[in-house]
Amino acid sequence: MSPTAPHAAPRRLTRQDFRTLGLSALGGALEFYDFIIFVFFAAVIGKLFFPADMPEWLRLIQTFGIFAAGYLVRPLGGIVLAHFGDMFGRKRVFAFSILLMALSTLGMAIMPTYATIGVMAPILLVVMRILQGAAIGGEVPGAWTFVAEHVPLRRVGFACGFLTSGLSLGILLGSSIATVINTVFTAEMIEAGAWRIPFFLGGIFGLLSVWMRRWLRETPIFNEMKESRALAPELPLKTVLRDHMSGVVISMLLTWLLSAAIVVTTLMTATLLQKIYGYTAQQSLAATSFGTLFLIFATSAAGAIIDRVGPGRFFIVGGVFFGAATWAFYSYAGTSLIVMFALYAVMGLAVGIVGGVPYVMVRAFPARVRFSGLSFSYNVAYAIFGGLTPIAVTSMLAVNPMSHAYYLLFIAALSIAIGIYLSRRSNAAEAAVGIEELTERLARS
């Protein structure tokens, strides 16, 4: 390496970089659509897959419990897929995870209901949801690892933020299709079979993503490690747990922030707007789609900002904005439809703070165990916080109708605390990347 290399002008993103980002983000969007479409039809699925005489509140909790099953299995699926990703390549895991997602989503589309096969209906639904959880457990951390290792070091934040925008696009696609279904079909028609249409579409989207990902190339970082025989000499997760616990802890806290923000403000809010604020299903889903548009823009912007200002200041300021915006939305959403849409737009921008989360996480582990470290931290935390949040919030609403807003205020405080911690150890960020990788990437810049 030339001694002047660290001072050379950083390499700009190339056409190949943008192609990689585009394909990765689009594939992630389609796979995330498959994973979250369930929540937009939770009320209908609850009616069809549980006994008719079950109380509505219990049916809703059990339905969200099945939704949570997909989160609870994510650590196992993520750990297994990440192991192969660290040992044999990132690209192969990409293709397999989305194929598994497509098949399990198609399985949901053809699933018999409780009226047909009784108690086996919710059991089979849980099985399909578990397979979806295993697939998404490898997809998200794998995608962040993949794009981060393709772009210049000083563009990692933007790359990960752009990828997160793709995942947000999957949410938008899900809410938009749910809006169309609820507009075109009556409630009776949806219960009679129209609810299956989004799952059929999801399976087709998934198979399309498998085809698209054949155009992606393995990451330069992994190829270099393979050629120099620098891959993990032992079980990657063992190395993570022994040598990189600080990275695990900060990544899990950041995942808590991400999961709470997405699950409550996006995935649950359509239901909350109907149950608490009195809006129709069409109005609630349209509002979710509108807010998600701003979220998509905000996550990419967040990635670009964190590249410039660093994670400390980013999460401190972002946490303050997030707390103010979410409290305002849930306090005044019932005022009028126009006010609710306007406040949802502001909240969507604030939730964009999640676009900065992967920037810290991919830099918390060296390349040879990055996929395993990121996947373990992200999936274990998401299983706990993401999977249990719908159940906890739904249960707490019976005690306090603003429980969801108080929970998000706590998450805002967590963001500020993380920002303060990262500010105090800003110089450690480069060391977390790994000296050997940093040297190689600066040489290529």
**Greater pLDDT, 405 or 73:** 405
Residue 98 burial (CB < 10 Å; 0-12/13-18/19+)? buried
pLDDT (0 to 100) of residue 229: 53
Task: Report if residue 400 sits inside a domain.
Answer: yes
Task: State the average pLDDT over residues 31-45.
Answer: 78
Question: Residue 339: pLDDT above 90?
Answer: yes
Q: Nearest CA to 261 among 349, 140, 175?
A: 349
Task: State the average pLDDT over residues 128-136.
Answer: 83
Task: Report if residue 222 sits inside a domain.
Answer: yes
Which of the listed ranges 62-76, 216-230, 373-387 does the model predict with the highest average pLDDT? 373-387
| Separation of first and last alpha carbons in the chain | 11
Q: Nearest CA to 442 among 6, 103, 48, 38?
A: 6
Question: Residue 427: pLDDT above 60?
Answer: no
pLDDT (0 to 100) of residue 54: 67
Total number of domains in the chain: 1
CA 371 – CA 366 distance, rounded (Å): 9
Task: State the average pLDDT over residues 82-102.
Answer: 72
CA 271 – CA 9 distance, rounded (Å): 50
Question: Residue 141: pLDDT above 90?
Answer: no
Task: State the average pLDDT over residues 194-223.
Answer: 78
pLDDT (0 to 100) of residue 11: 62
Task: Report if residue 223 sits inside a domain.
Answer: yes
Which stretches within 41-89 are classed as H helix? 42-49, 56-72, 74-88
Q: How many CB atoms are closer than 10 A to CB 84?
A: 18
Tens digit of each residue's pLDDT (9 = 90 or more) over 341-364:
999 999 999 999 999 999 999 988
What's the Cα-to-Cα distance from 170 to each of 30, 70, 283, 293, rounded to whole Å? 6, 17, 19, 11
Band of the pLDDT at 2, cuts 50, 70, 90? Answer: very low
Task: Report if residue 6 sits inside a domain.
Answer: no
Task: Report if residue 10 sits inside a domain.
Answer: no
pLDDT (0 to 100) of residue 87: 63
pLDDT (0 to 100) of residue 420: 94
Q: Nearest CA to 268 among 363, 352, 171?
A: 171
CATH number at residue 102: 1.20.1250.20
Which of the listed ranges 15-19, 31-35, 199-203 does the model predict with the highest average pLDDT? 199-203
Band of the pLDDT at 424, cuts 50, 70, 90? Answer: confident
pLDDT (0 to 100) of residue 221: 58
pLDDT (0 to 100) of residue 411: 95
Choose the weakest-confidence range: 206-220, 243-257, 384-398: 206-220
Question: Residue 328: pLDDT above 80?
Answer: yes
Task: State the average pLDDT over residues 296-311.
Answer: 93
pLDDT (0 to 100) of residue 5: 36
Which residues, at least 6 apart from 422, have a Cβ–Cβ distance to it below 8 Å?
Answer: 250, 310, 311, 312, 315, 360, 429
Task: Report if residue 410 sits inside a domain.
Answer: yes
pLDDT (0 to 100) of residue 6: 38
Average pLDDT over the chain reads: 80
What's the Cα-to-Cα distance from 298 to each of 294, 346, 418, rounded to whole Å? 6, 10, 20
CB 329 within 8 A of CB 182: no
Tens digit of each residue's pLDDT (9 = 90 or more) over 157-195:
898 899 888 888 887 888 788 888 888 988 889 888 898
pLDDT (0 to 100) of residue 180: 87
Range of the domain at 276: 16-444
Question: Residue 81: pLDDT above 60?
Answer: yes
pLDDT (0 to 100) of residue 8: 39
Tens digit of each residue's pLDDT (9 = 90 or more) over 214-270:
776 666 555 565 555 545 556 777 888 888 898 999 999 999 999 999 889 987 888
pLDDT (0 to 100) of residue 353: 96
pLDDT (0 to 100) of residue 384: 83
Choose the weakest-confidence range: 27-31, 232-236, 401-405: 232-236
Task: Report if residue 7 sits inside a domain.
Answer: no
pLDDT (0 to 100) of residue 294: 95
Task: State the average pLDDT over residues 281-287.
Answer: 84
Choose the weakest-confidence range: 7-11, 44-48, 267-271, 388-392: 7-11
Task: Report if residue 4 sits inside a domain.
Answer: no
